[in-house]
Amino acid sequence: MPPSPPLIGIIDWAGAPLGDPDSSVERSVIGDSAEVRRYLCESDDDFTEEIRGADALIVWHNAPIRAAGIARLERCRAIIRNGVGFDSVDVAAARARDIAVCNVPDYGTEEVADHSIALILALCRQLFPLDAEAKSLGWTIRVESKLRRLRQLTLGIVGLGCIGTATALRAKALGFRVLFHDPYLPNGVDKALGITRVRTLAELLETCEVISLHCPLTDETRHLIAEDELALMRPGSFLVNTARGGVVKKEAVLNALRDGHLGGAGLDVVEDEPLRTKEEADTPNLIVTCHAAFCSVEAKIEMRATSARIARAAVLGEALENVVN
C-alpha cells in the first residue's frame, strides 16, 4: 500500500473565517506535493488528531498557537503565520520542538503604508468631523483650529522596517518633515532615505506633531506607548497605529483623547480588539478601522500564495523563507 501524502493543515479562525472553504489559492501552489485540508478552530484547544498529525500548518492570525498545542503536534515541520505578525504563536515552544515558525512580512507593505497615510491625512485634514458636520447640514467648519498644513508638520515613524520605510517615503513626498526611531537599524539608513534619525523614543515623541507606529508586538514593545509616553507628545498631536494593538495601551490613549491632550488617533488595531463598549466607541477624535490595513484583493492572494509556497517547501524538505525562530 503506497504511503499517504504529507498533510498541510490550514487553521482558519472559527469566529470569522478569513480563507475560503476550497482553499483554492493554496491548492494551486501546493499542487500534488501534499494534501491540503482546512480546519476551523478558535485556538489550539480545538486541534483534532488529524491536525496533530499534519506535516505543516498555515495559521490565520486570530487562532493562538500556544506551547501546549505545539507540544501535541506529532510531525509538524513548520508553522506558517498567514501574515506579518507572529505574536499569536509561541515561537520559543516551537523552537524547542525543532519546528520552524515563518511569517509573510512583505505581502501588505503597500496596503498598510497607504492605510497609514490615509489615517494621517484624515486626522490632519479632519475629514471625518467635516463629513459629519456637512451631513448634519452645518457649514461653519467647527474644526478649523485643527486643520494643518502638511509641510509644516513633523511626522515621526517608530520602526523603520518595510512598512515604516514605505510610509516614510509617502509622507516625505507629501511634504512632511520625516523623523524615525529604530534602535536596530545600522547607521546610514537615514542618509539613504533622506530622512532624519533620532536616537530615543522620547525625543521623537516630544518633537513630532504626528506619530505613526510600525513595530512588531514583542515583550519589548508591549505598551510601548502608554501614559508616560503620551504625556511627552505635544498637545493636540496625532497618533496612528497600524502595527499591533498591544503596542499602545488602550486605556491610556482613550483617556488622552477624552482629556484633549491628543488631538486625534487613527487606530487600525487596538489592544484586546475589537472595541468592547459604547463608551470606548464614543471616544472623541478617534478613528478605528477594523484591523483592515493589510486588506486588498491583491494582498490577500499574495499572502496566501506565499504561505502555501513555504508550506510546500516544508513538506518537501526544502529551504524555508522568513523563518523567525
**Counting every residue, how long is the chain?**
325
Give DSSP secondary structure letters for 57-84. EEE-TTS-B-HHHHHT-SS--EEEESSS
From CA 133, how far away is CA 148, in angstroms rounded?
18
Amino acid occupying residue 263: G
Q: Which of 286, 294, 148, 292 is nearest to 210 (CA)?
A: 148
Residue with cell 509641510: 151
Catalytic residue among 35, 133, 203, 273: 273
Catalytic residue among 77, 291, 309, 312: 291
* Cis check: omega of the bond before 274, within 30 degrees of 0: yes
**Annotation says 214 is catalytic:** no
Q: Which of 92, 18, 5, 2 is nearest to 307 (CA)?
A: 18
**Annotation says 273 is catalytic:** yes
* Strand partners of residue 8: 36, 56
**Annotation says 244 is catalytic:** yes
Catalytic residue among 244, 304, 309, 312: 244
User: What residues are labeled active site?
Assistant: 244, 273, 291
